[in-house]
Every structure is written in structure tokens, then in C-alpha cells.
Copies of this chain bind each other. A is one copy, B any other.
Amino acid sequence: MNSDNWQWWQYFLAIAEQGSLSRAADKLAVSQPTLSRQLQAMEAQLGQPLFDRSTQGLSLTDFGQGLLEECQHMQSSAQKLQRLATGQAQTLSGRVRLSANELMALHYLPGLLSRFMQRYPQISLEVEVSNHASNLDKRDADVAIRMFPPTQLDVYCRRLFDIPLGFYASLEYLAQQGEPCDSQSLFQHRILGYDRDPQFEEGARQLGMSVKNEQFLLRTDCLPLQLELAKQHAGIVVSHQTLCEAAGLIKLDVGIELPALPLYLVCHRDVQHNKKIRVLMDFLAETLELK
């Protein structure tokens, strides 16, 4: 009875989640033929197929479906084990994954991380630049810089300062288009909007205004690009005060009080005592304050 091969369950779950051998193979860092054959062996051992094959991928049979849930429990144990294992690491060498959004990554981090690497030359940093919150459970990232409070219970969270926001435009833009003085005139202007990201709509809704992404003529979810566009006189941007002023943009007083963005540093509770992670968080907290 050799079916107690834990690796098989890992394979099974990856295939079930990805819906295809190729994608699962990618994720598991093995080749597709290997996965194909391991799955065959597994099914042979169990005596019945786990998946229905098609040319578009694999879908769970009822039999496989019945195993999925428990296998996910098994996975969460595996993930927890990984976190526990890394959580106890007390060396200042090895890898740490940091997740941040594009604006943070491009405008705040470069100088900081450069200094960090000089101070801790044995630590190898991986920075994931992404607009969506990375999954700390799955260790997609060890540390994340977030602009919103944590929703999970099992994260260790440090709240840093607030980032003041404002409406900004370039001198040249204002010379050409005139300066809006209230919210009425503001919406006559070219405001740089978001593409698919609902955060702008959501923020406006909290201020009691109804705004749709579609209202705006120039839209992108890439915040550094928004900022760059504003510098190139493309329109009015809502962005970090310090960044905009450093870029020579002019603050517009349109009578709308924008809330400040709260800045959080988070990691999973299981890894909060990991020395590397602790050191990175401390460093970021310290040096971000000074910015």
C-alpha cells in the first residue's frame, strides 16, 4: 500500500486547481510529462480516474471531487508548516520576499532597498510589484506594504504614517487649461482616472460623490504612469503630496478634503519573529518615516 505518497496529493491538488497538467507542472516546477505520468500512476494505484481528460485540460471526476476538500486542508497544513519553519529562522542570510504596489516600489523603495542591501549583504531581496494584495498565507510574500488595514486575523501589522493626498497638475497644464477652483469646475478638466481598479470610485463614494471610471478620458491602473502623465501635462492627478511636489506639480485647492492614505507594514504572524523579516520591517518602518 504505497498510496501514502504525500507528493501525489500535492500533485493532485495542483492539477485540480490549475485545471491543466501544463499549468500545474509550471507551478510545481516539474515538467508536464512527469506530471502526466505521476497522475497515471496515482490513478492506477487508486483504481479509478481522478480527472476526466479533454484536449482543453482536466476536470475532476466525482471521485476526485470528493477528495478535493480534505486535500485543501492538507495544503493549509503544508503552508502553515512552511511559515512556521521560516518563522524560526534566525539567520540574516537567505531570501525575503517583499510586496509593494507600483508607486511605492518605484518612488520610495529604490533608495531604501539599496541601503538595506548594503547593510545586510547576505539577505537576498525579492520584490513583488503588484497592485493586488499578495497572499501571505501562501507565502507569495513575506512582508507586504499595504495602503489598507489588514482583513485577516493572523497577520502581524505595523501602522506607519499617513500619506497625504491631493489634486495635482503641472504648471503648463494649468496655463493651458486654467485652474479649477471648486469641485464643479474640477470635473470639467482632464482628470487621470483608473482603468479597472475600483479604488477611485470607492474613495469618491466615501466622500459622498458618485464617480465612475468611465467618466475619465485618460485611464490607467498604473500609478507611476499617472504621475508621469501629469508631469507631461496630460491632466490632473490624485496622488501622494510629497511625490507630486517633488515632481514640481502644483497643488489644486478645489474644496475637496481628500483622506490621507494609511500606510501599513504587514507579515504573517507565524513569521513575525523571523530575524530577516523583522530586520526588513524595522528598516522599512524607520526609513520610510524619514522620507
The answer to whether B73 and A77 touch across the interface, beta carbons within 8 angstroms, is: yes
Within the complex, the shortest CB–CB distance from A15 to chain B, in Å, comes to 14
Q: Please encode chain A, from 5 to 21, with 1 for each CB lying within 8 Å of some chain B CB and 0 for all others.
A: 11101100000000000
| A40 in contact (CB, < 8 A) | no
The answer to whether A82 and B6 touch across the interface, beta carbons within 8 angstroms, is: no
Number of A interface residues at 8 Å Cβ cutoff, please give it.
37
| Cα–Cα, bound, A90→B139 (Å) | 39
The answer to whether B88 and A66 touch across the interface, beta carbons within 8 angstroms, is: yes
The answer to whether A70 and B81 touch across the interface, beta carbons within 8 angstroms, is: yes
The answer to whether A81 and B74 touch across the interface, beta carbons within 8 angstroms, is: yes
Interface centre among A10, A71, A77 (most CB of B within 10 A): A77
Of B3, B78, B95, which is within 8 A of A85 by CB? B3
Within the complex, the shortest CB–CB distance from A268 to chain B, in Å, comes to 14
Within the complex, the shortest CB–CB distance from A1 to chain B, in Å, comes to 7
Of B3, B63, B81, which is within 8 A of A9 by CB? B81
How many identical subunits does the complex contain?
A: 2
- CB contacts (< 8 Å) of A77 on chain B: these are 70-71, 73-74, 77
The answer to whether A82 and B4 touch across the interface, beta carbons within 8 angstroms, is: yes
Of B9, B48, B63, B89, which is within 8 A of A47 by CB? B89
| A240 in contact (CB, < 8 A) | no
Within the complex, the shortest CB–CB distance from A9 to chain B, in Å, comes to 6
The answer to whether B7 and A5 touch across the interface, beta carbons within 8 angstroms, is: yes
Of B6, B47, B81, B94, which is within 8 A of A94 by CB? B47
The answer to whether B4 and A7 touch across the interface, beta carbons within 8 angstroms, is: no
- CB contacts (< 8 Å) of A79 on chain B: these are 4
| A80 in contact (CB, < 8 A) | yes
The answer to whether A80 and B70 touch across the interface, beta carbons within 8 angstroms, is: yes
Q: Please encode chain A, from 44 to 75, with 1 for each CB lying within 8 Å of some chain B CB and 0 for all others.
A: 00111000000000000001001100110110
Within the complex, the shortest CB–CB distance from A153 to chain B, in Å, comes to 18
| A2 in contact (CB, < 8 A) | yes
| A210 in contact (CB, < 8 A) | no
Nearest B residue to A80, CB-CB: B70
The answer to whether A6 and B78 touch across the interface, beta carbons within 8 angstroms, is: yes
In the complex, besides A6-B10, A46-B89, A77-B77, 12 extra interface pairs with C-beta distance below 8 angstroms are A1-B139, A5-B10, A6-B7, A6-B74, A7-B10, A9-B81, A47-B89, A66-B88, A67-B81, A70-B77, A71-B77, A74-B77
What 6 pairs across the A-B complex have the smallest Cβ distances?
A: A74-B77, A6-B6, A6-B10, A7-B7, A73-B77, A70-B81
Query: Measuring CB to CB, which residues of chain A are less than 8 angstroms from any residue of chain B?
Result: 1-7, 9-10, 29, 46-48, 63, 66-67, 70-71, 73-74, 77-82, 84-86, 88-91, 93-95, 139
**8 A-B pairs (CB sep. < 8 Å):** A1-B95, A2-B29, A4-B78, A7-B10, A63-B85, A70-B80, A71-B81, A74-B81
